[in-house]
Each structure stands twice: as structure tokens, then as C-alpha cells.
Amino acid sequence: MKSAIDVLVIGGGIAGLAAARQLTGAGLRVTLLEARDRLGGRIYTHHAEDFPVELGAEFVHGRSEEIFGLAAEASVPIVPVEGQYRRKINGNWADAGRLMAKVEKLFEKMPADEPDQPFQQYLDRSNASDEVKRQALRYVEGFHAANPSMISVHSLIRDTRAEEAIDGDRQFRIPGGYDGLVRAMMERIDRTRCEIVMSGTVTEIHWWPGEAVARTANAEFHAPRAIITVPLGVLKSNGIVFSPALPEKQDAMKFLEMGPVIRVTLCFRTKFWEQEPEMADLSFLFTDHPLFPTWWTSNPLPYPMLTGWAAGHHAIALRGQSQDEMIHAAITALAEIMGVDVPQLQRQLLTAFVHDWQADIFSCGAYSYTAVGGIDAVRTLADPVADTLYFSGEATNFDGYGGTVHGAMATGNRAAQEVLQSLGSRPGLTA
């Protein structure tokens, strides 16, 4: 029996929503299946306080057309991050700007004409100072959420070049919350052509050329084509079983990894830290704390909160702890960094929020990175299968924008275009 649905979209993160927008705009009928009880995926904004608290994506990296174009359409404000970059290592405060400039030089020297190698190996061979090497390791593990002994130098070169094309060294914020982009995308999906099924966890996809069947605990959904947008961590954990199996995808994923991240946001009564000379006008703070080494403020926004970021082995060290234990660990870390007593911070604290992305069963990690030898693996993961299965999500962005919101949006647009081209239609898609 012919399905009344043209395309199934598996996953209601920003990639899935972007795909649904394009497909419904082209006149196709879509069913979008989202496992969570909310849309947005790894865009996760909490609004219980008087200000938005980001538990997932927070920064807009560079001036991408995907984000800035949608924000302009929907009149969603975007503001540049402001404030000083500081560091506290071995108990000593210093400006972080000069050191990061040296780290950038180290990255610029990564060899594209040599066989691929782990970043750790490149670093060990470098004649950079120990201080620069340590900061480079902190950056790779913090910013990329990557294991330095696994992440590919060739992939870092690719990503750095991509960032340069969009002023990727500049950071921006969305004052009203990142979920404003989710709402903006939702408002641009033709809901007369799109059914959205929430709490619809897909566990199996049975397929053959021209037919895809997605199974949840309670229902089956049929369509001639399906776009799979779920995070890499879910695919690697076999959270969705494909029948027949997809050995090329499994082989590709051996070279792709999901970075673990735990983030804790502490909401205070005031920005009391601005009274400390070393933390006045603070934007980012880099430290050598063993659990929460990286912190940032809401600058230039007035929200009185500090966010602690534990990525890579720092996140693994906290694995299995309760939310209360993680919050206590973050407060203790901040007290040690600031040189104050824990009770002093607790008196200022209003509330705290935590999200452990490695323990989130619908993401199984924060975002992806490429391991050594895997420079072509992303494209293989993204390739359509038999004009029936299509793949999107930040881990399938082979242009160097993996791990970003705009990278995910671009893949949703790309997968939608692939579907439309397979149908013999090439309309002009919106950005």
C-alpha cells in the first residue's frame, strides 16, 4: 500500500527541523519522530529563572549563513561575546590572550602534507614550550571534547580552515536563549504537511530500496525515504538497529568519536566575582583544576551566572555521580579557583543546573570529532543509501563544521536537497 508520507525524519534536533522545513517547503509530506519530550536535541535551554540557562549549545561560532540568516528572518538578536580571557595555573593569574595566540601558531604549523597522526603525537614532536603544549592539550580536550591521543591532525586542519572562512574565531550569543532558533525553525515548517511525534523513540529501521519502516515501542511508520539525524553516539551504541545492516556506516563510525561533556551552571544573586580584580570583565577562565578547568560568564549579558565545563577525561572522572554531587564538585572547584570558602559561594547561590551529555541516552555524548585516518569517514557516514536512507546531523558535516549548530543545520539542508534530487526536483532551497 502506498504510504501517505513522503519522508520520515528521525530526530527533532536542529538538523531534523531544518530538513523538515526544506521538505515541507517543497511540498512533501513529512513525519518527524523525536525520542525526547521536547524539540531541539542538543540545543537545550532552561527558562525557569528570570533568564535563559543553556544546558546544551550556547555559543554561535563565527558568522555562518545558516544561523545568521535564520536569526535575521525571525528577528532573533545575536550579540558578540565580550570580556577578558584569563587563566589561573599553579595558583597564578595571567592574561590568556597571549598564550592562546601562541597556541594558534602551533595549530597553524600542523602538517597537511604528512601522513595523518594523532594531535598528541604532533605535539610531542613540536618544539613549542611546555606551557604552550599544556594549553594546546587543554584546548583540544576542552573545545573539541576530544582525546588528544585519538583526534586526527588532518581533521583539525580541515576544521581550522573552515572556521577561518566564517570568522570562526569570533563567538556570539543569543540573549533570549538558543531555543529561539528552534522556535524560529519550527515556525517555518509547513505544519499542514508535517506531523511531529514526540516521545517516539525509534529502535529499528527496516528498509529496502524505496521503502523505510521506523519502529517505536508502540507503532510503525512507513515512507519511501527516511532521513536519520540522530547523534553519532546513538548510532555507535546501536540505539537504532538497521535491517539490513549498514556495514559501510559501521566501518566509518570506527573513525568517528563522541566527546563526553558535563556542564554545570551556577546561578547567583549578583555578579559578585566582578569585585575581584582578576575576574573583573571576565569572559573565559582557563585553569588547571582537575575536574572543572574551564569557566565562563554570560558577558555581555547581565545574567549573574558562571558555567563550569568538564570535557574529555574531566567528564569521564565525574561519570556516574548524581546531579547534586556534580553541582557540589563544581562549587568546590570554583571556590578553590577563586580562593574563597565553599559556604561563601553557597550563600550567593540561588540555584544550579547540570547536564551530563555522555549519560544522556538520546545523545550519548556532546558532539563528534574525527580520529586518525578518518578524514573520509564523515563523508561515508553522510552518503545516502539506495535513494532510501539519508543521513544528517553535525557528525555528517564533511565541510569542517562538525560539532556545531550551524554545521548540523547545513546537513539538514543537504539531506533534504538529496531527497529532492532523488525525486527529480531541484528547487531553490532556502538557507
State pLDDT tens for residues 81-93: 999 999 999 999 9
In the three-class reduction of DSSP (H, G, I as helix; E, B as strand; rest coil), residue 315 is classed as helix
Asked, as a colleague might, if the bond just before 300 is cis with ω within 30 of 0, I would say: yes
- What pLDDT does 425 receive? 52
- What pLDDT does 168 receive? 85
- What pLDDT does 424 receive? 83
- What pLDDT does 428 receive? 44
Are 261 and 55 in contact by the 8 Å Cβ rule? The answer is no
Sequence-separated (6 or more) residues with CB below 8 Å from residue 93: 86, 87, 278
In the three-class reduction of DSSP (H, G, I as helix; E, B as strand; rest coil), residue 404 is classed as coil
Set of cell numbers at residue 415: 539531506
- Mean pLDDT, the chain cut into blocks of 10 residues (431 residues total): 84 98 98 98 91 97 97 98 94 92 95 97 96 95 96 97 92 97 98 97 98 97 98 97 98 98 97 94 96 97 97 96 97 97 95 97 98 97 98 97 98 98 64 38
State pLDDT tens for residues 124-164: 999 999 999 999 999 999 999 999 999 999 999 999 999 99
373: left (phi > 0), else alpha (psi -120 to 50), else beta? left
Cα 181 from Cα 185, distance rounded (Å): 6
- What pLDDT does 430 receive? 41
Are 81 and 283 in contact by the 8 Å Cβ rule? The answer is yes
The arrangement of strands across the sheet holding 389-391 comes to 194-197, 30-33, 7-10, 225-228, 389-391
Q: Give me the amino acid identity at 373.
A: G
Set of cell numbers at residue 291: 575536574
Q: At what angle do helices 179-187 and 65-74 cross, to 10 degrees?
A: 70
